[in-house]
Amino acid sequence: MKPFAHEIVKNLPGSTCSGDVDAKRQSAVIAVKRFKLSDTDALVEHMGQFGEIMNIEVIKGKDPKVPLTFRNREDADEAIVDGGLFKGTMLDVTWHWRSDGSRENSPLSADKMLASIPQSEVRHWKVL
């Protein structure tokens, strides 16, 4: 199995990759921006090449966004890494966060997530 993109970045010397990346991996929901609403069907078809899409939501407005729920995290990660080029332009493909700041489809509470962090990593953090 190929490594997740953040695992490669995380292991580079001097990496500033935060724990948020690991937290986001718990979700299989991505958000796609920078596309024309008229291209929504083609966009969903494009993203479907990376895995089975379980749910689609279209958020219209000044900056339309399409949250897509993949069957698993690995497919969502692949869509983020490899799905950016669409019809000759670069999409903005990221992990999806709800407007209240919480992740969609999150299986872990914040307390459980924090408790899962190894103590060896905690001592390297600075509280600002």
Range of the structural domain that residue 50 is part of = 25-98
Report which of residues 118 and 94 the model is more confident about. Answer: 94
Helix (H, G, I), strand (E, B) or coil at 58: coil
Order of all β-strands in the sheet with 53-56? 53-56, 65-70, 29-33, 92-95
Whether residue 105 is contained in a domain is answered as no
Specify the pLDDT at position 86: 97
CA 118 to the chain's CA centroid: 23
Whether residue 80 is contained in a domain is answered as yes
What CATH number did the domain enclosing 36 receive?
A: 3.30.70.330
Which pair of tokens denotes residue 126?
């600075």
pLDDT in tens, 61-91: 999 999 999 999 999 999 999 999 999 999 9
